[in-house]
Amino acid sequence: MSERNKALVRALVDGINAQDWQRVLGFLASDFKRHSTAAGEPTVNSAKELVAFLQAEFVTFPDACETLLDLVAEGDKVAARHHFRGTQLGPMGSHPPSGKVLEATYIAIYRVQDQLIAEAWAEWDNLAGLKQLGHARAA
């Protein structure tokens, strides 16, 4: 079960990197939920809302790419350490395009149910990212 769940998370990330939204939807429960407070974004309450969130992310970071650095699975959960890299060529909330590259590592925990990803929690250092992009001052 653990290896199958890790393979599901790998496949999801591959689908996101390929911007193959139909494939991404195939890995998610229709009532998928994503919880994250790192950037104050609202909870994502469906698979379709996640795809819309990701599509908007690719408008901001057209060359975005995620790499899985670590995967650990137990029971119905998979913990992942991701590396994100992308150039901010579109607006990000109230922040204009910076043309700068964002590189960030973040942690996500995925819950698998009935061979689909049903829920995810993602957290990262949003302030460090804003500093890289020139949207926040370094201390």
Phi, psi of 53, rounded to the nearest 5 degrees: -60, -45
For residues 1-31, one letter each, b for 16 or more C-beta atoms within 10 angstroms of the residue's C-beta and e for the rest, the string is eeeebbebbeebbebbeeeebeebeebbbee
Beta-carbon contacts of residue 59 (< 8 Å; ≥ 6 apart): 90
Listed by start position, the domains of the chain span: 2-132
Tens-place pLDDT, residues 102-112: 999 999 999 99
For the 2-132 domain, the top CATH level (class) is alpha beta
Point out the residues of the chain with pLDDT beneath 70. Answer: 39-41, 138-139
Determine if the pTM surpasses 0.85: yes
Which residues sit opposite 92 in a β-bridge?
95
Residue found under tokens 């901001």: 60
pLDDT mean across residues, the chain: 95
pLDDT in tens, 120-135: 999 999 889 999 999 9
